[in-house]
Chains A and B, each alone.
Chain A
Amino acid sequence: MTENEDDLIDVAPGSPHNNIVSESVAYVIGLGLALGLTAVSFWVASTSSLWGPGVATGLVVLAIAQMGVHLVFFLHMTSGPDNTNNILALAFGVLIVFLVMVGTIWIMAHMNANMSVSPELMNLQMQH
């Protein structure tokens, strides 16, 4: 019994357990955190008591937090030696995803802003 209790206390959330209770507890904690973050996301999106322009950023932060919860508690990403390669691959994946998304949105927003033609100019071009 004391061994079981030690398992519950000493083992990192995502690392392999040998005890069916502590293994299940890790998944239950993960589910609880994920459900909590989802509920907060939906609340943040519907409430009017928060500063409007900041809501979208807050939602993205909550989503990233929930992805972290999924990675640790469901996909068992840990800092253990067996996981070094998985973490490195994940870091590379995050880098590429970040470059593709932020790069595209940034460039396309600037192009959209710089390419917009005022109605008078559009009218001039039409007359030629």
Chain B
Amino acid sequence: MTTEAATIGLTHGGSEDTGLGHRGPESKSIVVPYGFWLFVLSDMVLFSALFASYATLVHATDGGPTTNQLFDRNLVAVETIALLVSSFVCGLAMITAKRANMMWTQAWLLLTGLLGAVFLFIELYEFTKMVAEGAGPQRSAFLSAFFTLVGCHGAHVTAGLLWLGTMMAQIWAKGFQQHIIRRLLCFSIFWHALDIIWVAIFTIVYLIGTLP
């Protein structure tokens, strides 16, 4: 087997691992998060298109309200901290889940969800306030791009909260089985990725948008 492999090339000095898959497929604990990671990266490519259209249209206000008039930095700071701590607590939930600690896992996941809900609540408050002021998505190209970009992130957070609730129920009902842990791992990747996208949003949309 080794000699056969050694004739194929790309071998590493007699190592059995040729990098050509001779050892068979990786374990599910590697392959499943990898596949989900590919999905998350494609999601980031989707967001990059929304960021690009936002950056192109940010000055196309059609005489309507501009970024400086609309955005409130204090509100964004609270949103940012809520989502960041939520991401951190999700990591703590993964640590306790690996040790099959039901009480702490459920507690951390609940806190993750509550902080995510705080984020979502503030975002919805901001959106309804803007729409009430006549700065809805149909006002200008800038606002259409804004609501598409930030709303798409908010929709992801909403989906994440539904997934989180499902995972809490599954852990409760089925216990810490291998496939449940893998699903939870995928959820944590999703949740951390949403925080990464939010870093780009609060920098590009809110901070750079409200520079004097």
Contact = CB atoms under 8 A, between A and B. Distances in A.
Size bin of chain B's contact surface:
35 or more
A45 B207 contact: yes
Given A31-B88, A59-B207, A70 B192 contact: yes
A82 to B, nearest CB: 6
B43 to A, nearest CB: 10
Interface in B25-53: 30, 33-34, 37-38, 41-42, 44-45, 48-49, 51-53
Contacts, number: 107
Given A48-B212, A75-B192, A82-B30, A38 B200 contact: no
Interface size on A, as a range, is 35 or more
A62 B203 contact: yes
Interface of A is mostly: helix
A115 B33 CA distance: 47
Residue with the greatest number of chain A CB neighbours at <10 A, chosen from B73, B99, B189, B196: B196
A34 B192 CA distance: 12
B95 A89 contact: no
A20 to B, nearest CB: 6
Contacts of B48: 96-97, 100-101
Interface of A: 20, 23-24, 27, 30-31, 34-35, 38, 41-42, 45-46, 48, 52, 55-56, 59-60, 62-63, 66-67, 70-71, 74-75, 82, 85-86, 89-90, 92-93, 96-97, 100-101, 103-105, 108
